[in-house]
Amino acid sequence: MSRPKPLSGFPEFLPAGRIVENRVLEIVTSTFELHGFAPIETRAVEPLSQLARKGDIAKEVYVVRRLHADAADADELGLHFDLTVPFARYVLENAGHLAFPFRRYQVQKVWRGERPQEGRYREFTQADIDIVGQDALAGHHDVEIPLVALDVFEKLHRDLGLPPVQLHVNNRKLAEGFYRGLGIEDTAGVLQRVDKFDKVGPDAVTQLLTAEMGLSEAQARACVSLAGISATDESFVDDVRALGVEDPLLDAGLEELSALVRVARRSVPDRVVADLKIARGLDYYTGTVYESFLVGSEKLGSVASGGRYDSLASDGRLTFPGVGYSFGITRILAPLISKGRITASRSVPSAVLVAVDAEESRDQAIAVAGALRSRDIPVEVAPKADKFGKQIRYAERRGIPFVWFGAGYDDSVKDIRTGAQTAADPAIWSPPDGDLRASVSMDGNER
């Protein structure tokens, strides 16, 4: 059998990379729980009609069918392309069992049939948080969500050395109100083109707005001027007012966005930027929107995003407005892991390898390993009896720092990095705290 070729867009990490990913997910999920978010998981597939209910995403969806399904069993299903749409369905199905406002987190794979490139994959892991109300949801949750996100990113920066982020925020009410004040009716179409600002530049956006949307030159330039406004404080309000456009929805958006920036600035200075070109492509967002960029790796684009949605979930009688945030775990980690910028100190969890003198003494080695594991020390037993030098080299290849000798009769443990060997009792010996788990290093700086 020939060696299989990798599938583009479906990243698979080696064990050391997976250890890094697990450590990141530990920090992410533990932070979510500190903020009171409960875990859920939804199925991988949804009816195509549900997936396409909001936004034009037909080209992105992977269709799923049974190979031998007959016509009567040919329901059109697709793999979910994000976690928000299946979450909306989950809320509708389980509303009678949930306490609102409902705070959930969810970590799962998602699939998108787009062109693979750095930072964009066809299969990847997302970690989402949402707060959902029944019929109403207080506006202060729009401020709370980005603070949770910043808490996550600050811990990843502090504990693992990942690059810090800058969180860019805008408000759809602000943008749509501004466009209405200019006399523009198709505000969604303008938003879609303004969303290309960073990719194509202001002149190209101006041309798109006049050629494709039929805007006058003055209208288009006003839209581009709005998109060019950014600030880390509330000064953006004066900049918007200086453009001379008035509309009640614009006023509401300015008030909501300035409140967010004010609170975030007190909590995490200079990490939040009011960036009025942020639009978010999906059309279910109705208020605040968020995009996050790794400092120094901005070319990756947004690695985490979200926003407020007031009508994503409704059963015709009740409406469930919400606000959420999605972390692109694979998008953040895959480029760093593939380039060797972040790695684990060893490819296995094991801190100790118990050497086997002879196969007849394997039972004693297993007993020593059991005693160590009973105290939460990760251990493996040598796969075969061999010369001690070969067993040490086996541990070195796997990054295991300690080798245990003389299991059951003359116990000693050797730090194979320094060569120091001391007598040890499996009932009380422990490795140093820094060796108990694989450490993670970013650009050579161990954490």
- Residue ranges for the binding site for L-histidine? 82-84, 112, 126, 130, 280, 284-285
Crossing angle between the packed helical segments 202-211 and 217-227, to the nearest 10 degrees: 140
Q: Which residues are annotated as a binding site?
A: 82-84, 112, 126, 130, 280, 284-285
Inter-residue contact 347 to 156 (CB < 8 Å): no
User: Using CB atoms within 10 A of its CB, is residue 306 exposed (0-12), middle (13-18) or buried (19+)?
Assistant: buried
- β-strands 123-132, 319-328 pairing: antiparallel
Contact, 132 vs 321, CB < 8 A? yes
Token pair for residue 100?
A: 């609102």
- CA 33 to CA 171: how far, in whole Å? 27
Residues forming beta bridges with residue 105, ordered by sequence position: 39, 129
Q: Supply 224's token pair.
A: 């581009």
Which of these, 408, 403, 413, lies nearest to 361 by C-alpha position? 408
Helix residue ranges per DSSP H, 182-312: 187-194, 197-200, 202-211, 217-227, 236-241, 248-267
Phi, psi of 310 (to 5 degrees): -100, -10
DSSP-derived secondary structure letter, 420:
-
The distance of Cα 242 from the centroid of its chain, to the nearest Å, equals: 37
As to burial, measured by CB atoms within 10 angstroms (0-12 exposed, 13-18 middle, 19+ buried), residue 125 is: buried
Query: What is the distance of C-alpha 378 from the center of its chain?
Result: 28
- Beta-strand ranges (E) seen in 315-411 are 319-328, 342-344, 352-354, 379-381, 402-405
CA proximity to 445, closest of 153, 164, 161:
161
**CA gap 362, 357 in Å, rounded:** 8
Q: How many residues does the chain have?
A: 447
CA distance 79 to 361: 51
Q: Which amino acid is at 419?
A: G
Pairing state between β 352-354 and 402-405 = parallel
